[in-house]
Amino acid sequence: MEHDASPRDHKKLGRELDLFTFSDTVGKGLPLFTEKGAAIYRELRRFIEDEEIKRGYLHVKTPDIAKLDLYKKSGHYPLYLDSMYAPIRIDDEEFMLRPMTCPHHFELFLSRPHSYRELPMRIAELAQLYRYEQSGELMGLQRVRTFCLADAHIICASEEQAVEEISGALDLIEYVAGVFGLTKGNEYRFRLSLGDRANSEKYYKNDAAWEKSESLLRDLMKRRGGEFEEAKDEAAFYGPKIDIQMKNVNGKEDTAFTVQYDFCMPDRFDLRYVAEDGTKKRAFVVHRSSIGAIER
């Protein structure tokens, strides 16, 4: 059934319902929420935070800026450079507005030793992020330059545990989608986003890890049933991911939620835990967003 996009356009509804606005003086892509919009914003935050805590997530708080060295350590700088704001010089050091939360959460994990009994450790945060978008790509609340992401990073003791956590994250995403009346196959679909071995400038170089991790996610999707498609050259630089794709009112497809398997950051940050035999072993990491960006 065809719909006229204009009555359902969220920018139009935002004005008519007095939910949010934009100001050229404040800056493009920087939304201002009225008291009505802020009330909805609070309810969304409360809903997902409470739901995640019920499912064993540990909610934390980390800063909106960090030293440039942190993003060099993670590899986001320079691999994610086009989406990052320019460094800010403070007291002869360079800082960045954070475009993602994972390096912060890894440093939090490294602040003390961890036993295998603590894993999986589900570190979550409703984090304010800052990403540079070209002015022509900005669109209402769908593409903004700052947003609150329901983000989490799950530290696991084994590949098997990581796969279980990925499946659990997908269960949470499907639950959240259902709460908002979205059904699989109608309003959203699954995409297995793969890397490209030939593009070493875009992706972490480890062909064996790419092959194994992509196979793990493919097998998981087959076991869970339902349709999914594969897309080459759509992965994160640190590993493959399962994206939940939705079409907006204008017919353009967006990634609403994502679950990512990361074989890169455990090496870069030397993420280890104390195993049952007393030795230190390398951890495995899952990235995921449950409700996605609150604005979107």
Residue type (1 letter), 187: E
Q: What is the mean pLDDT of the chain?
A: 93
User: How is 65-124 classified by DSSP, letter by letter?
Assistant: EEEHHHHHHHTHHHHTGGGSPPPEEETTEEEEE-S-SHHHHHHHHTTS--BGGG-SEEEE
Report the pLDDT averaged over residues 117-146: 94
Instruction: Indicate the domain borders of the chain.
Output: 5-63+111-293
Instruction: Report which of 179, 283, 292, 195 is spatially closest to residue 245, judged by C-alpha positions.
Output: 292
Question: Could you identify the residue written with the tokens 């920087």?
Answer: 30
Say if residue 69's pLDDT is above 60. Answer: yes
Inter-CA distances, 273 with 114, 155, 162, 197, 238, Å = 5, 9, 14, 30, 21
**pLDDT tens column, 30-68:** 999 999 999 999 999 999 999 999 999 999 999 999 999
pLDDT value of position 80? 83
Q: Is the pLDDT of residue 2 over 50?
A: no
Task: Kindly report the CATH number that applies to the domain delimited by 5-63+111-293.
Answer: 3.30.930.10
Token digits for 76? Answer: 């986001």
Compute the Cα dihedral for 70, 135, 239, 188 and give only its sign.
positive
Render pLDDT for 163-204 as a digit per residue (tens, 0 to 9). Answer: 999 999 999 999 999 999 999 888 899 999 999 887 777 888
Of the chain, the percentage scoring pLDDT greater than 70 comes to 98
Length of the chain equals 296
- The 10s digit of each residue's pLDDT in 16-40 is 999 999 999 999 999 999 999 999 9
- Angstrom distances, CA of residue 147 to CA of 2, 99, 285: 31, 10, 24
pLDDT at 185: 85
pLDDT tens-digit map of 225-252: 989 999 999 998 889 999 999 987 777 7
At 6, the pLDDT band (50, 70, 90 cuts) reads low
Assign 270 a pLDDT band (cuts: 50, 70, 90): very high
Looking at residue 4, what is its pLDDT? Answer: 43
Q: What are phi and psi of 90, to 5 degrees?
A: -135, 120
Residue 213 CB neighbour total at 10 angstroms: 27
Q: Take residue 30 and report the two structure tokens written for it.
A: 């920087």
DSSP letters, 202-257, are TS-S-HHHHHHHHHHHHHHHHHH-S-EEEETT-SBTTB-EEEEEEE-TTS-EEEEE
pTM: 0.93
